[in-house]
Amino acid sequence: MSSGERSHSLGSIVERFGGELIGDKNVSVTQVAPLELAQPWHLSFLSQAKYRNQLETTRAGAVILGPEARDLTSLPRIVCTDPYAYFAKVSSFFNPVKIPPPGLHSSAVVASSARIPASASVGAHACIGENAVIGEGTVVSPGCFVGDGVKIGDACFLHPRVVIYHQCIIGDRVILQSGVVIGADGFGIAMDAGRWIKIPQIGRVLIGNDVEIGANTTVDRGAMGDTVIEDGVKLDNLIQVGHNVRIGAHTAIAGCVGIAGSTKIGRYCRIGGAAMISGHLEIADNVTISGATGVGKTITKAGIYTSAYPAEPHHEWLKNAVHLRHLHELAKKIRGLEKQSRKPKRKTK
């Protein structure tokens, strides 16, 4: 246990976050931890049945459980409807983000027309362009670039080396992790006489409130209209969002996903890692796309969609690949056999 960690009684946690407390309310914990690593000063949680065996051996001081698991241990426990969400709230409470003090670092380069409130923090070697607006309590970490005319809302946190190109608009409470690039040119080119001509990208990126974007993710500006990330969207690391894409509110997208230009993704969607989504498509609300799935057509109905081929031993894959190459020929043969089987049979004398 770190000497700097503050202890919290189970009673005070339940008073703050709700839930049913079973056991001694005076038991104190200082941090959260997974079941297999937890020590007596940790609060752990069980959200999936496959980890129940770890509940039997854990050394945690207390656990968070769902109603179906309330009697699986004698440890002090908090029973709630969603243990994982409850754990997330407690972890955020135990581990608040450290906010640097307000003020401008002496090495920051700030245009005279930029508007920065006294409550904002601008770190070393940050650069803020003409007519940029920074919101109350927003943190612009060292090495960030904020272009001309950019507007950033209140209580945002730009981690080191975030780049926001000109005229983009960021809402309130947005977190941009290191290396994020907002508003770079989209991939717009036209072939002319054997050479590519660049098409100017004159739109913007508009980001709503409570959005988080992971490290080294890029969101391209619109070609003519705007690229839009709605409220509550969560983007993992290393995602490519093409020009004029629109991502609906509260959608979550895992790492290494590529979204081609002008695609519209609905609200409350979940997209697994390394999925590839073609351009000019529409994806309905409440769609889940499995990892490594290729999406080449519009999806109009909520549900789970998967196209990734599961891994198998290489020698088995080689045999199956041979059959896949001839699948069309096989389908033609089957159709021929079906057609033949439907012909009336000649009566024998």
- Supply the residues annotated as catalytic: 243
3-state secondary structure of 247: strand
| Those residues with Cβ within 8 angstroms of residue 184's Cβ, 6 or more apart along the chain or in another chain | 163, 165, 218, 220, 221
DSSP annotation of 322:
H
Contacts of 164 (CB under 8 A, 6+ apart): 144, 145, 146, 147, 150, 152, 158, 170, 176, 182, 183
Residue 150 near residue 171 (C-beta atoms within 8 A): no
Closest to 303 in 3D by CA, of 340, 259, 266 = 266
Helices (H) and strands (E) in the chain, counts: 5, 38
- Please name the amino acid found at residue 260: A
CA distance 143 to 122: 9
CA distance 263 to 58: 46
- CA pair distance 342, 331, nearest whole angstrom: 17
Phi, psi of 68 (to 5 degrees): -70, -15
In sequence order, what are the beta bridge partners of 301? none
* DSSP code of residue 31: E
Sheet containing strand 303-305, edge to edge, reads 103-104, 121-122, 139-140, 157-158, 175-176, 212-213, 234-235, 252-253, 270-271, 287-289, 303-305
Three-class secondary structure of residue 90 per DSSP: helix
